[in-house]
Chain A
Amino acid sequence: MNPGGLHWLAYPWGGGRERIVRIGDDGATPLLLLAPLLEEANRTRHFLIQTMHGLAGRGFCCFLPDLPGTLESSVPIEQVSWNDWHDALACARAAIGRPFHLASFRGGALLDGAVEASSRWRLAPAAGESLVRELIRTKMAADREDGQTKSAAALEVHARSEGLEVSGYRLNAGFVSGLKTATSSAEGSVRSLRLESDPLPADARIAGTPLWRRIEPSHDPVLSQYVVNDIVEWISTCANG
């Protein structure tokens, strides 16, 4: 089988099924990838799929789940709570059926503590608070175009009581509140990588484009290759250490 081959599997959730993209051979080391959240997931999709192909060529079998309410999911996002995403990952884990390592990107790192994993690798992990701030910021810019001027604080109060409709996502109030207080877990073996332009603490820094902020989905092959090499090296250190 071509190690870069792409397959689909599914995990049961909420009475239906959600999709998992699988790239890699059956016997290869399993690695679960958690994508950035919401619009950032679309912007980085191509990058993630290409990175999965790269990892498949280096002995990994990569799994990338759709979260309920996103991508191919048939569940409307407005019905999804923040905790549902934790539950969904527990179901995805059962569907994969064997221990795996984790690689999460941006807001995906807020979910990687919900599942048991041999190790956790993160690229530019984002705190829930800063993601909510960006959502409010996007909402403000859209409102300003429509001639409305609510303060950031007023918008956030409204979002946490009535929900928030932004960039085509109708997020319920519980989801916004859950995301706002979400932080990533520091337990176990964790390695965090950040771009050179990002001032937050990290184990290592790399040059690259913040694809998750780019308005049109784009790719950075050099960054992808660096990510592949770093994950391979990190997991081999975890396995030997």
Chain B
Amino acid sequence: MTDIASRNGAGSFVEIRGVSKWFGELQVLDDIHLNVEKHEVVCLIGASGSGKSTLLRCLNMLERIETGDIVVDGQSLTTGKVNVNELRRKIGIVFQAYNLFPHMTVLQNVMLGPRKVRGLSKEQSESIAHDLLHRIGLEAKAHEYPDRLSGGQQQRVAIVRALAMEPELMLLDEITSALDPQLVSEVLQLVRGLTEVGMTMIIATHEMGFAREVASKVCFLDGGSILEEGAPEQIFTNPTQARTRSFLARVLDAEKSA
């Protein structure tokens, strides 16, 4: 790819071009530019309220953007012609609070997308779900309801529920923030597996060690804009911005004392 092409972001799988967003008077995103290539893992770091979650929610149109444009797989999200449901089939999202459907069993949670959105048969959907649950070692829980599972187990089910749609892009929104510390690693292990098979991902996270390990690019968000972006080594060992340095110092300090 030429320099010019990469500067324009032409051909990137995800192109975020000058996106801003307000909640009433409050500006939550401020002129965000970001390109994500296929198989890239981008980690968004920054304090709570810096806009990480909102940016992810804009990407699958759970939130509307006021200015700028987002292009996913060559398709602009702001033309009004985009089919929201088609777009969301390509983009899986996992939330901090798992959001499993409490009235369905684990198996039914995972089957719902394949069955109703991909239009597969009951047998096919079931076999996809069983296969995924088997891979994360939760097949024994297939017929349990989510409230019988630990937080870590629920979050892993939420991840495979998204994977059952065979998405081309996964958005992970602080997926370990609600978990007890001892449950974090089982979830991160699953995400690590996804990076190994080349899944394109945008990950909002407070797990700095993990971001440093899996990210191909790290973006530091502050007050709704990307203050600094670069390779994880550069961001974590040699940040250019004072605010990045003070943020990292605060977070790493907290991690040490924890």
Q: Tell me if chain B binds chain A.
A: no
